[in-house]
Every structure is written in C-alpha cells, then in structure tokens.
Amino acid sequence: MVTSLGDFHKIDPVSFEKTGALDPILGIDTRLFIDPRLLIDTSITELSESATKISDHFNDVVKLLKNVNAVGDPFWKKAEKLLTFPEVRGLCIGYSAGGTAGRGMGPKKRASLLDTAVQIVGAGIEDPTLFELVGVFEDGVGPDLISDMVAKIIMVDLIAFTQRVCSDLGIPMEPQRISAQHRDEDLPKNPLTDTPIILVPMDVLRDLPVAESFSDIFWIAEQNQELRDELNKIIGTSWRKVTTSEQKHGLRKSFIERPETLTKVLNQYVEEVRERYDFKDDPSGEVQWYRIAKDLPSQHKLSLTLSSSPTVEDVFAVVTQICETFAKLIQDNQLCKLLYDKGGTRKHESAAQLLFYGIAASYCEANNLDLSPESDSGRGPVDFKVSSGFSGKVLVEIKLTSNLQLLHGYETQLPIYQRAEQATRGIYLVLNNGGITDPRLHAFRTRVHETLNT
C-alpha cells in the first residue's frame, strides 16, 4: 500500500497543505532536506526560535574547541558530546536507510570532524556557521547528514509542530519514543511500520542532490570571481575533474592554511538568497508522482486479474499489462511532463521510477490483486511478488535514454538485480527522454535485438 499520512486518515489534501506541513508518503523518504538558512524566515510559529537554537548549539561547540589541547581532553569530550546526535525514528525526508529510521554520525566520522574543526578554529575561524558547510570539506558528510543534525537540535520544535498539526487535523496520536535518549511524546503512528512520525514544515525544505556529496562550495564559488580564482589556485583549474574525496581534502587543507578563504566562503554562503523547494513545479520529482498515481486508476481504468495460485507467467502477464499502460500514459496522456521541470530540464531518473512505482501500486490495489510492487523507497528496480503461492518474482527496471549506463544496465545490472532478488522474469522498461545520440541509441537497439534473437 502506497499512501500518505493525510490520505490514510482521510484528511483533505488542501486542508493538510494549509497547515504548512509536508504530508509524508509512508514508507518512502522524500529526498528533501532541512536548510538551516531557511529556518531564519520560516512562517511556522513553533520554529520561530529554531535558527537561534542551531547557532547557539554550534557556537557552544566552537567555544569548547578553542580550549582543546589534546584529543580526549575534557573540552574535546564535551564538544564530542554536543556533536553526538542520537538516531531518531520518524523523519520522512532524506536518505534514511530502512524508510525513515534515521542516520547517525558514527564515532570515526565524528572524531574526524572534530579534528578538522579544532584545526580550523585554531586558525582563527570562530563562526559557528562553518558546521552548516562541514559537508564541503569533510568526507562522508553531505546535506542529508547536516539536515539530520539540524533536525535533532530542533527536535523539540518539530515535535510541537507535529502535535499542533495533528491536533488541528484530527489525526490520532499516542505516546511513542523517537529514540532511547528521548522521553515518550504524543505523536502519530506510521501504520505500515508502527513507528512514530515527525512532520516537517515545507518552507524549510530544499531538494537533496542525488549525489551524496555536497558540492555547494563550487556553486558558491561560481557567484564570486575572486573566490573562484582562489579555489582554482588551491585545487587547480581541473578541480571539477578530481574525485570528491580529493576535492574535500584540498579544501580542508586550504581552509586550515588560509582561513581567510573560508571566511569568504562563509560570508558568501550566508549572503546568498535561499529559495524553498518548489512543490508545485517539483523539479526533483519527489512529490507530484504520488497524487497523480493515486488518482489514475479512476481516470484511466485497467482491468487486471490474477488467479489464487498464479504461476510466474501469470504474474509476468499482469506486470506486462501495467508496463504497457504506463508507457501509454507517458506517451498519450501527457504524463511525460512529469519527467521535466517547468524550464524543460530533464528530471533525475528517480522521478520516473517513483512515478512507475506509484502507478503500479495503485493499479494493483484498485484491482484487489494479491500482488505488491516492492522497491528501495520507490526508487531503483521494482519487484512484483504475491504473498502466497509461487516464490518467484518479476522485476522491472526503469531506465531513461539520457542515462549513460543504458546499455550497461540492460546487459549487466538487470541480470544482477534478478539474481539478487531471485526474480525469474525481468522487464527493462526504457523511456526515451532524449539525451542520447543516434549512434548510441542504434547500438542499444541492436544489442537488444541480438539478445532477443539468440
């Protein structure tokens, strides 16, 4: 079952939107993240002091780091404690493994961060904002983890916001614990996982880059010629060609040796105007797919049947019908618009994957089939399986022609996925969204023809 919290409790979508909260799709993390800069101007009463809390928290860390003399001394330990954030359950945004379970910063990553921060503070940088940009120079730290840190600092505010919204909408709550370090709080329960849900205001969210690394440093640099020239000297004019780890290592070293460069970066970061995520245009394809997929079965009916003891070929036939209907909806009913933003730029492949996943789930549910699509948060390959009967699966892999790994996916990835998921049949569903040269498309079609005729 694919449903949002609001739909599960039969709340009018317009009424839910008016609360300012993101209506979470249960079991699927929406890949957006909390931008600490957006908290400054949020319209949500419960979060009016959140930006100050974050600044104060990291300012306390900086004060401690100024007094650190050695790893493990009292000041180090206190700073480490302030940078220890317990994993919480219930946030439905980001890259949380296991569907909203949360991500924490492990001891090794925290020790590395502390070591770098001690050196930066020792070089004279005492601006707590540096922790908002830690993903720029620290390996393994991206916007998702930063968003997670921010959420945990303002968790009391998010809980208060959640409680007010649910109270206003009539969504039932019950005492639940979001982590071992927190007391029980009245919160809504996720009916799919029996875990708590924490709502997040839409006006503090931005889209999360699909690549886990945080490369905003280069976006910031593009706005400032002097800063760009400095970074080119530090890393070299081919800095875009080096690995993310090499980029971060170079920046980390330069910020310690040239603290004035980091000061310029921090100033540029703070001054840059932030824009919240555009939920109407949905440039990353994170939200629109759900409502459209939910409504499609009533607008474009598809009759599907499956016996009580289906064979793998029976399931394959049903999945083929779903794929053919999906293709027709993309081609003939303007669903292809969901694959591009308002400027005509192609969205990431995950937008197509989420759309297919949602449509497949909706048609299976509308026909009361004992057949459920399963995927990693709605992205990547989709496995179709029945709850009883045969143990095999039918796997569908969505690919866009703009994906440079189109042929590799067909020849290598799909068979690997099938073996891993024990899927006896597989479908490689390709959507032509452009972004492919004629020779590459011809080579792909030729290879497919060869394999189908051998």
Examine the domain organization and report whether 396 and 304 are in the same domain: yes
pLDDT classification of 378: cutoffs 50, 70, 90: low
Do 331 and 193 have their domain in common?
no
Max CA separation in the chain (angstroms): 72
**pLDDT reported for residue 388:** 58
Asked whether residue 113 falls in the same domain as residue 249, the answer is yes
> How far, CA to CA in Å, does 190 sit from each of 8, 101, 355, 360, 383?
10, 12, 22, 22, 23
Residues 28 and 148 in one domain: yes
- The answer as to whether 278 is a domain residue is no
Q: Do 378 and 311 share a domain, yes or no? A: yes
Residue 191 falls inside a structural domain: yes
Query: Do 61 and 194 fall into the same domain?
Result: yes
Overall domain count for the chain: 2
Do 262 and 364 share a domain, yes or no? Answer: no
Burial class of residue 390 in the structure, from the number of CB atoms within 10 Å of its CB (0-12 exposed, 13-18 middle, 19+ buried):
middle
DSSP class of residue 209 equals P
User: Same structural domain for residues 171 and 210?
Assistant: yes
**100 band by pLDDT with thresholds 50, 70 and 90:** very low
User: Does 14 lie in the same domain as 137?
Assistant: yes
| Mean pLDDT for the chain overall | 87
3-state secondary structure of 454: coil
Helix H segments across 273-413?
288-299, 312-332, 349-366, 406-408
Amino acid 239: pLDDT: 55
- Does 372 have pLDDT greater than 90? no
Both 349 and 242 in one domain: the answer is no
CA-to-CA distance for 310 and 321, rounded, in angstroms? Answer: 16
| Whether this model's pTM surpasses 0.85 | yes
Residue 277 lies in a domain: no
Tens of pLDDT along 141-194?
777 778 888 999 999 999 999 999 999 999 999 999 988 778 899 999 999 889
281 within some domain:
no
d(CA 379, CA 73): 45
Note whether residue 276 is domain-resident.
no
Q: What is the pLDDT of residue 214?
A: 40
Whether 279 maps to a domain, the answer reads no
Last residue of one domain, picked from the residues 224, 244, 271: 271
Tell whether 11 and 58 lie within a shared domain: yes
Lowest mean pLDDT among 27-36, 77-86, 209-218, 322-331: 209-218
Same domain, yes or no: 230 and 101: yes
The model's confidence at residue 218, banded by pLDDT at 50, 70 and 90, is low
Please state, as a whole number, how many other Cβ atoms lie within 10 Å of the Cβ of residue 223. Answer: 12
- Phi, psi (5° rounding) for residue 27? 85, -5
pLDDT digits (tens, 9 = 90+) for 402-424: 999 999 999 998 898 888 888 88
Q: Which domain holds residue 385?
A: 288-452
pLDDT at 322 over 90: yes
pLDDT of residue 44: 98
* Burial of residue 74 (number of CB atoms within 10 Å: 0-12, 13-18, 19+): exposed
